[in-house]
Amino acid sequence: MALFGTDGVRGLANGPLTADLALTLAQATAVVLGQGRIAEARKASGKRLTAVVARDPRISGHFLSAAVEAGLASSGVDVLDAGTLPTPAAAFLIADIDADFGVMISASHNPAEDNGIKIFARGGVKLPDDVEQRIEEAMAGPKLQPTGAEVGRVTRFSDAEDRYAMHLLASLPHRLDGIHVVLDCAHGAASGVSPETFRNAGAKVTVIGADPDGLNINDGVGSTHLDKLAGEVIRVGADVGIAHDGDADRCLAVDAEGNVIDGDQIMAILAVAMKERGSLKDDTLVATVMSNLGLHMAMKEHGIALRQTAVGDRYVLEEMNAGGFALGGEQSGHVIMSEFATTGDGVLTGLHLVAEMARQKKSIAELASVMTVYPQVLINVKGVDKDRVADDEHLQASVREVEAELADSGRVLLRKSGTEPLVRVMVEAADADSAHSYAERLASVVKERLSL
C-alpha cells in the first residue's frame, strides 16, 4: 500500500504514523529534494540546504515535528521551525525565504488523534506523484550522514507569523472597515493569525473556536461543523461568519441569517469581482466535476469559462498551473488564488470575500445571489463492480435517458470510489424532489447491473 495519499502521509498519530516513520521520511526527503541543479549549485557555493517546518496545534504535532526536524538536521539540512501556523502559511514562507523545501505537520479537518505530514517543494508547491514515489523508495535506501559542522541547525523562525500576516494584508484590494465578522478557527492553526489579520484589515471581529488545547481541533467547530458559527453570527448580529478547518486551507461562510455560503458560491463571487478588475486570467475559473451546476450557469452568464478537473485540490492546482489561471477550487472550501498563494488558503480567501462586501457595500447574501444553487443529491451504491461503470451499456443508456429528461436544468455524474467497491451517483436538478427521484432511479440501476 502506498505511503502517500491524496494529501501527504496521514494516519493515526503514534499508530501507523510514528516518530520513527516521521524521522525516516524526513531523511528520505532530504536525499531526494536535496538533489537537482539549484540544490547542487547552492551546495557548491557553500550555502546550506534550508527547510521550513510548521504544524497545527494538535498534541501529536510536537513529537512528529521534533522527529521531522531531527531527520532533516541529521541529513545536513538547516531547519527553520515556524511553530503553529496554517498550511498555506508554511507554503508561503518556503517561497518567501527561498527555502529548498518545507514540511507541514497536520491532518487538516481530521480529528485530533490523527495527524499527517505534507511536504512542499521549492516555491511552496505540492509534490508531484513521481517525486513522492522517489521519496518513498528512498526511505529504504542510504541516508545522508554528515558529521561535525556539516550537520543541520534547528532555529526558531521568529517572524514567521508576521511575514505571513503582512503578505495577507498586502494582497487585499480593499479594507474591511465597517464589517462585523465572526471567525471560527476550528481550535486550529489559524487561531492566532486569522483574528489578528482580520482586525488589522479593519473588520470588527468576534472569535469562536480559537482556544486550542491540542485535543479539541475540529471538535464540533470549524468548516465541517457550521452550526455554532451560524448561531454566533445571529446572536451577535454580525454581517458574516468565516469558518476555517484545522490547518486553515479551507474557507466556508455563513450569511447574517446563518445560511451557508459554500466554496462554489465563494468562487463565483471572487471570479466575477476578479474579472471586473481584470485579474482573472483568460476570464477562466477552475473547479472540479462536483461543483454545482449553478456555478456553471452563473459563470456562463458573466462570460467566464469554467474548466473542470477530477475531485481533489491537487488536480485543480495542476490545471491552474498548466494554464496559468488565477482562481480555482472546490465546493468544500479549498479556494486557490494563485496570484497570492500556491495552495488553498482559508484566511486569504476569507479576507478577500469580506473585502468584496466592503468594496461593493453589499451583504454576503447579495453577493452570493450571483449564483443559484441547484439541489444536489449524492447516493453511494456499495458492493458493486465499480470498474464496469463505463462498459455497461444498459447503465449508460439509463444515464443518457435521465440527462435527456433533465436537459439544461440538471446534471448527472457517476464516479467510482478510489478505495472501495462503491459507485457515487450524483444528480442535480431544478428542484429537490426531481434530484432525489433521478438519483434513486440511477442508483437502483447501478445496483442491479453491477452488484458483486
Closest CA to 82 of 72, 74, 73, 91: 91
Closest CA to 185 of 177, 175, 196, 201: 196
Q: How far apart are CA 412 and CA 339, in angstroms?
A: 33
What residue type is assigned to position 38 of the chain?
Answer: I
Catalytic residues: 108
Interhelix angle 19-33/129-138, rounded to 10 degrees, is: 120
User: At 393, phi and psi to the nearest 5?
Assistant: -65, -35
Residue 247 is assigned to a ligand binding site: yes
Alpha-carbon torsion (284, 288, 434, 447), positive or negative: positive
What torsion do the CA atoms of 254, 258, 259, 260 make, to the nearest 10 degrees?
30
**Which residue is associated with the grid cell 521534533?**
66
Q: How far apart are CA 157 and CA 51, in angstroms?
A: 11
User: In this structure, how many other beta carbons lie within 10 angstroms of the beta carbon of residue 278?
Assistant: 8
**Which residue is associated with the grid cell 488545547?**
213
Residue 408 is assigned to a ligand binding site: no
Residue 158 is assigned to a ligand binding site: no
Residue 249 is assigned to a ligand binding site: yes
Question: Partners of 180 in the beta sheet?
Answer: 204
What torsion do the CA atoms of 168, 171, 177, 182 make, to the nearest 10 degrees?
-40
Binding residues: 108, 245, 247, 249
Binding residues for Mg(2+): 108, 245, 247, 249
